[in-house]
Structure 1
Amino acid sequence: MELNRRNFIKFLVGGVAGIHVTPLPWKLTDDSAIWTQNWPWVPVPPEGAFATESTVCTLCPGGCGIEVRKVDERTVKIEGRTDYPVNPGGPCPVGMGGLQLLCNEDIRFTRPMKRVGPRGSGDFKDITWDEAMEALRGRLAGLREQGRPEALVAIDGSPRGSTQALLLERLLMSMGSSNYTRIPSAEDTFWMAGILMQGNEGPMAFDLENADFILSFGSGLLEGWGAPGRVLNAWGMWRGEQKGKTRIVQVDSRASNTASKADRWVAVKPGTEAALALGLAHVLVTKNLYDRAFVRDHAFGFEPWESSDGKRRAGFKALLLEKYAPSKVSRMTGVPAAEIERLATDFARARAPLALCGKGKGDLNGSLYETMAVLALNALVGGINRRGGVLVHDKLPLDPFAAVEADAIASAGLRKGRLDGAGSATFPFAQSLVNRLPELVLKSRSTPVDTVLVLAANPLYTLPGSGAYRRMFEKVPFIVSFSPYRDETAMMADLILPDHVFLEKLQDVVWPSGLQYPLVGLSRPVIEPLYRTRHAGDVLIGLAKGLGEGVADNFPWENFEEALKERFKGIAEGAPGLTSFDGSTPPWETMASGGDIRADYESLDDLWEKMQSGGLWFRPAHAYGVRNGLFKTPTGRFEFFSTQIELALEEQSQHGGTDEVLARMGVSARGDEACMPHFEEASSGGDPAHYPLILVPYEMINLASGWIPSPPFLFKTIFDNQLLKQDSFVELNPETAAKLNLRQGQRVMVESPAGRIQARVSLFEGAAPGAAYLPLGLGHTAYDEFLKDKGANPNEIIEPARDPLSGLPAWWNTRVRLRRI
């Protein structure tokens, strides 16, 4: 047949028709489906019996209730619980993806190990648990024999007040070391502000669900703030059944998810939230919109007064009138004066207004003076211990264990005090300052630290100035990690004693962050440990017993469960609570009704048995409106002027002037102003002429930014303008980018006085001019191919500056510059 155009077309038409007629394509498709489902390397889950078990998630301090679906003993899915009051519904994305952190051998340590290669190489050798325990026991016993127990330091990321945290601190005290340090968070700042202004050591409790006006100063309500499951449920209620009844105003320098979905976004210059809060307070005072009865009957330091030495004190009201007029605050914050006045008026006229603080997820500690300013704003509208406000609680009645009995060696070590200076004249209100350790170790000729125990923490990744921590760990002779994960800090360790992970481990969850009622959750294991790991609490108890009578006498328990149960004696004998929740009446409604609570348990054994099934003790009751006898400050009132700050300054001024003492504390204010909420301008080691931008790290709900890694599936939820292949994106306002001659997608080096990282440019109208925004949770240098080298970690270039007065890290003070590459 001649091949011409006509015949060629006939051939094609016939071929197409033949393909549709013949069964060959359909047979090939069928065979392909069969072959691809039966390749030998394709995993086929075995069949088995379905079951569900309830427990509590411990991947963040929120403590959401979760239900784990199992096939035989294999976990297959994590869902939320409807019978748990914190989050009657689904968990957050990290919690939903938690199974990937359980079964991934590439990111977990499966057995004890010791380092055999250079430090930081990750070259380890398997050892037995007996060998591991003896190695650490011998090291600690040697410190006591040498009379150097204070050379033992712990870095702990366990939740505040948890039994695991108490056991680790108890081990150090029994050894003779005061150097127990904690990874800081917003809870530490809340605690300090509560002590200084209210005199109460209980947690800061926000009655979100009963508020009708939420004024959030940077709190990422949709980014994982507080207990994420609880806050997301509250948001759904505000936008569902209570739509139009609760207004949400977000004060933020960036158009975050929360700002974008709020009723109003108030854009401020980065780091000026305290100034805005005080500007709003000024308007409340000048327009007589504040709660005069509360201020008159229950507050101190607002109006002028004469102190016992005859000195005239101006008070907080005078400070507001002098320094925080809307016109002045507008210049500080960039918020128009008219908007400041309108916002203050709206806030004051709400039935139950509530101001929140704690930036992002609340995993990072905030500014102490900023927190005090927001707390003062709540007080001015009478929102302290009022329905829909900030509730004042005592500490949970969990038994704190008997006091440590220190032997002669321990007593000598404890007398040498803390290495980090927490509680000293310079940092009188700090309990722990882990951020000072690198400075102190690196400047010493011979390190004062011999051994570091790292538990539930990854300071090399999560703390600012991570390069300094790396240099510190290179200098410390011996490092022990209890991490179940192959994280950055564990890679520097000499000895790995891997803990169980959540779902394998018994833990207590003590009062989830920001919750308005007392609650203790019990996270119970739902499966047997997959690998040769061991509960860190059991390791600490076993280690103490191996160190002899001086230490062992302070650890009378056989195991962690026995120690945990002992703490519940206080709850069994204290105020009545409940061990079950049926979901019919939300706890905040029960609280508002003022109904009596009758315990549904009769003894400690009965309470413990019921907690094994429900994993819960809570008390949904509160005495709203009671203020008499509520505040435990020296004046017995809510203090706008903190007499405890004044006392600390007076005590230290005997060794130098008050101004010198304040300078050592990092406080720029002088006189009475230092004892009251005020705005402290951010200070940075970077010259604005050379580093023109302020660096603002931000958090996302779909990325873990703490010591626990992100489940790899979550990387599929990140947008291409946040992470593209290996590159993070630094967000810039188009106006800022134009001044720097930068374009979308362009690669840049982000440089600060502390270091530099690489990123791409993302132009974002929601970014404040003059600022550079980088996400936290990326930039790991450890773990597996799904986590390692994905993006950049802003902590590498954040300067290790200190927050004034508290001494805790300052996260939002670093200045940077961008250089095209």
Structure 2
Amino acid sequence: MTVSHSAHWGAFSAGWEDGELRVAPHPRDPDPSPVLQNVPAALRHRARVARPAVRRGWWEGGPGPSDRRGREEFVEVGWDEVLDRLAAELRRVYADHGPTAVYGGSYGWASAGRFHHAQSQIHRFLGMAGGYTQSVNTYSGGAAEVLIPHVLGPFDQVTRSVVTWEQVAAHTDTVLAFGGMALKNSQIGPGGVSRHVERGAMLAARRRGAEFVLVSPLRPDLPPEVSPRWLAPEPGTDAALMIGLAHTLWAEDLHDRAFLRDHCDGWESYEAYLRGAGPGVGPGGRDAEWASRICGIPADEIRALARRLARGRTLVTVSQSLQRAEHGEQPVWAGLALAAMLGQIGLPGGGFCYGLGSLAHYGRPRNAVPVPTLARRPNPVRSYIPVARVADMLLNPGTAFSYNGSDLTYPEVTLVYWCGGNPFHHHQDLARLRRALARVDTFVVHESVWTATARHADVVLPATTTLEREDIGAGGTDSLVVAMKPVAAPYGQARDDHAIFAALADRLGFGERFTEGRTPREWLEHLWGRTEKALANKGFPAPTFDEFWAAGEHLLPEGPDDGGVLAALRSGTALHTESGRVQVGSARIASFGYDDCPGHPAWLPPSEPPSAEFPLWLVANQPSTRLHSQLDFGATSRAGKVDGREVVRIHPGDASVRGITEGDVVRLTSPRGACLAAARVTDEIRAGVVQLPTGAWYTPASDEDPTCVHGNPNALTRDVGSSRLAQGCTGQLTTVQVERFTGEAPVVRAHEPPRLA
């Protein structure tokens, strides 16, 4: 017997055959993700957390700062014992330090299910417990999530559905893809993906005659089937290339003056910048020659590309990867300004689209009715940080910092509670993160497997996986809602997050308020009721919960593919920006006085360029074989490794001068640390660049040697903000040296449990 289920990378069916779990993609999916085959290993892998476990030093000595986190054995204890101790610790922290001393981490994708959504559960619990310091924005899009509301409008409203894949297939003549549109990224979408349409849409556009221009140091960032023209600039110089293109449009009078006049604000300041305003610019201004000296693309190619963009329907896309870097706001803003100069914002398949191809929920019409979701309870305190600044907060309590026009202060946090995420994947400079976590009194983690985050915790509570519980899988731009049915009993003593929080809430005196008297199944019925009512109100078939659950799925109606607020702009509807128009320049941002984010798009050089000691750029991008670090032990993820080690891609010229050949174990070093990886020599990468995907579980060589033997690039990356405007993550790029590893390479034991007593 098979049951329906869903994950962020696709809807699927699951069942047992000859004692083994088998999974199959949903039949409506034209291009299923290979990541699905990571699922069977998840249920009974030795990396699973079987019982509540507590770091020995915390259990025997009580809470307090400790540099033994990540180095000490764990004691397995009973549920009642650990929950009693944890409830007492929460009471102590709230009484002695107040709610701002509790940080509710919970950053990560966790489950596609909408009730057992880890972030919703922990924020609901901590909000009722008294409040907590929370995070805002994401590691994936932190810079853009702050900038775009200033210059274009509310983030989701102006990014997700304004340009769709159907429009690209039917209307676009030129796709200028800064950072590419890699299919490995668009195989993933929050809440699940039932139809992977990206490859098919790009092929349809190509067959119609559309040209794809890939701007990336990595050739695979667009599928080869669309025969993209590949431009490989110096990493981090996309904004300079965009400015050079914009200068050509301006100098040759190819820009749309009427659109800039009628629908944009701040053009004058950007025009002055193109002309050469500011120091260190020659008489030609920031022209193609100026851009070429920075990005390495010949000036004639820049001019020819600008002329191409001015012909036909052009779509400028900027991937999430570009803004995960120092000054990451600038390529997003410069890409928007370039599209504004072309005058096609709001036209079908034209203009500007941030993130198209970066995630599966971009480029699709929204559902016509809301999907079932667990509402987030308001936090009674206002303490917050940008999510990527967590180590700064823990290391520098009481220190002032700038964010989005405000002057804020880091709170003093003594208890960190994490549920549904893995900061030892998402965060940068992992040695620094270890030092930061050593400062707190207590670090609590809900986890189904022994990730590095779990290994660094004081209290590890075993959580079920989605395969072991009921839920509803749904995403706002995917029409399929899935009744997620369990395929196995919980592993060991694992409990779902809701049950763990309900038991803690009982001990703290608000159990009835937390559960509202509902079982998980009754919560699912309650959440489905909102969708059922919305369907009925709009005249669509509206099955009851029992009918939906018996069927296993339901298709929601799609909303209109009408270009949204950007199309409405062309007919006179104002945007939600400071002027009601597209902000090519912004007086509001200029008023903040940030030298690392001026009032118009700009090229700002990196503060840590390649050097004699660290001569190569490292691109630390998303993996193709898993979702972030999830199920790193799965079949697809393991198949992408060499002898259990992650693979780094290096250009033949860079490999040759270092004596590196295919399959060699190499050591990558940066000013922050070191890691080992297996070399793959390829000409599909720009010379002077190496690429190592994120997501390999951080595995230090020993207690004394923090070198990651598994190949996690965040042992190397910098933990600094994108700018004072957004304080976003800058983990995409850093500078490194690569050398052939000599001697016997250490065995990778990333997926083995820690010492348990």
Aligned-pair Cα RMSD in Å = 4.1
1-structure distance, mates of 2:512, 2:599: 44
Q: How does 1:73-88 map to 2 (within 5 A)?
A: 76-83=21-28, 88=29
Residues 53/455 of structure 1: CA separation in 2 closer, same or farther (3 Å cut) = same
2-structure distance, mates of 1:564, 1:321: 59
Question: 1:287: how far off?
Answer: 3.9
Choose which of 723, 730, 749 in structure 2 pairs with 1:810: 730
1-structure distance, mates of 2:729, 2:682: 28
Q: Between Structure 1 and Structure 2, how many residues are aligned?
A: 674
Is 1:695 aligned with 2:635? no
Q: How does 1:503-542 map to 2 (within 5 A)?
A: 503-507=467-471, 511=475, 517=477, 521-522=481-482, 524-531=484-491, 532-542=493-503
Residues 779/540 of structure 1: CA separation in 2 closer, same or farther (3 Å cut) = closer
Native 8 Å contact 2:139 2:426 kept in 1:
no
Q: Which residue of 1 aligns with 2:636?
A: 714
Q: How does 1:221-232 map to 2 (within 5 A)?
A: 221-225=182-186, 227=188
TM-score normalised by structure 1 residue count:
0.72
Deviations 1:687-724 (A, max 9, x none): 824322222223431244x2313244225643xxxx54
Q: Which residue of 2 aligns with 1:800?
A: 719
Native 8 Å contact 1:155 1:455 kept in 2:
yes
Is 1:645 aligned with 2:645? no
Which has the higher mean CA deviation after the structures are superposed, 232-241 or 212-221? 232-241
Deviations 1:378-409 (A, max 9, x none): 44444544322548999996788486484xxx
Deviations 1:423-446 (A, max 9, x none): xxxxxxx476335335326999x9
Q: Which residue of 2 aligns with 1:101?
A: 42
Deviations 1:462-507 (A, max 9, x none): 3210111222223322111111011111012222222221223445
> Structure 1 counterpart of 2:21, which letter?
V
Q: Which residue of 1 aligns with 2:123?
A: 169
Secondary structure of 1:376's partner?
Answer: helix
Choose which of 127, 131, 135 in structure 1 pairs with 2:85: 135
Which has the higher mean CA deviation after the structures are superposed, 724-733 or 467-476? 724-733
Native 8 Å contact 1:200 1:394 kept in 2:
no
Choose which of 530, 542, 553 in structure 2 pairs with 1:601: 542
TM-score normalised by structure 2 residue count:
0.78
Choose which of 117, 125, 133 in structure 2 pairs with 1:179: 133
Q: How does 1:42-81 map to 2 (within 5 A)?
A: 51-58=1-8, 63-71=9-17, 76-81=21-26
Is 1:207 aligned with 2:164? yes
Q: Which residue of 1 aligns with 2:689?
A: 771
Secondary structure of 1:803's partner?
Answer: coil
Question: 1:260: how far off?
Answer: 5.0
1-structure distance, mates of 2:204, 2:153: 38
Native 8 Å contact 1:274 1:678 kept in 2:
yes
Choose which of 742, 754, 757 in structure 1 pairs with 2:675: 757
Question: 1:220: how far off?
Answer: 4.6
Residues 392/210 of structure 1: CA separation in 2 closer, same or farther (3 Å cut) = closer
Native 8 Å contact 2:54 2:77 kept in 1:
yes
Q: Which residue of 1 aligns with 2:357?
A: none
Native 8 Å contact 2:620 2:691 kept in 1:
yes
Q: Which residue of 2 aligns with 1:548?
A: 509
Q: Which structure has more RCO (C-alpha within 8 Å, separation ≥ 6)? A: 2
Secondary structure of 1:256's partner?
Answer: helix
Secondary structure of 1:353's partner?
Answer: strand
Is 1:299 aligned with 2:221? no
Choose which of 393, 403, 408 in structure 2 pairs with 1:437: 393
Native 8 Å contact 1:799 1:814 kept in 2:
yes
Larger Rg: 1
Q: How does 1:199-598 map to 2 (within 5 A)?
A: 199-202=153-156, 204-205=159-160, 206-211=163-168, 212=172, 213-225=174-186, 227=188, 233-239=197-203, 243-256=207-220, 258=222, 260-261=224-225, 262-302=227-267, 304=268, 315-322=269-276, 324-351=286-313, 353-359=315-321, 367-389=328-350, 390=353, 401=375, 404=378, 406=380, 414=381, 417-418=383-384, 422=385, 430=386, 433-440=389-396, 448-507=412-471, 511=475, 517=477, 521-522=481-482, 524-531=484-491, 532-548=493-509, 553=513, 556=516, 558-559=518-519, 598=539
Native 8 Å contact 1:191 1:202 kept in 2:
no
> Structure 2 counterpart of 1:195, which letter?
P
Native 8 Å contact 1:156 1:457 kept in 2:
yes
Secondary structure of 1:489's partner?
Answer: helix
2-structure distance, mates of 1:366, 1:790: 31
Deviations 1:537-575 (A, max 9, x none): 3433443343235x975763635565566566765666x
Native 8 Å contact 2:34 2:636 kept in 1:
yes
> Structure 2 counterpart of 1:197, which letter?
V
Q: Which residue of 2 aligns with 1:613?
A: 552
Q: Alignment identity in percent?
A: 21
Native 8 Å contact 1:300 1:641 kept in 2:
yes
Native 8 Å contact 1:250 1:259 kept in 2:
no
Native 8 Å contact 1:357 1:374 kept in 2:
no
1-structure distance, mates of 2:692, 2:419: 27
Question: 1:258: how far off?
Answer: 2.7
2-structure distance, mates of 1:264, 1:57: 34
Residues 234/759 of structure 1: CA separation in 2 closer, same or farther (3 Å cut) = closer
Is 1:626 aligned with 2:557? no
Residues 470/254 of structure 1: CA separation in 2 closer, same or farther (3 Å cut) = same
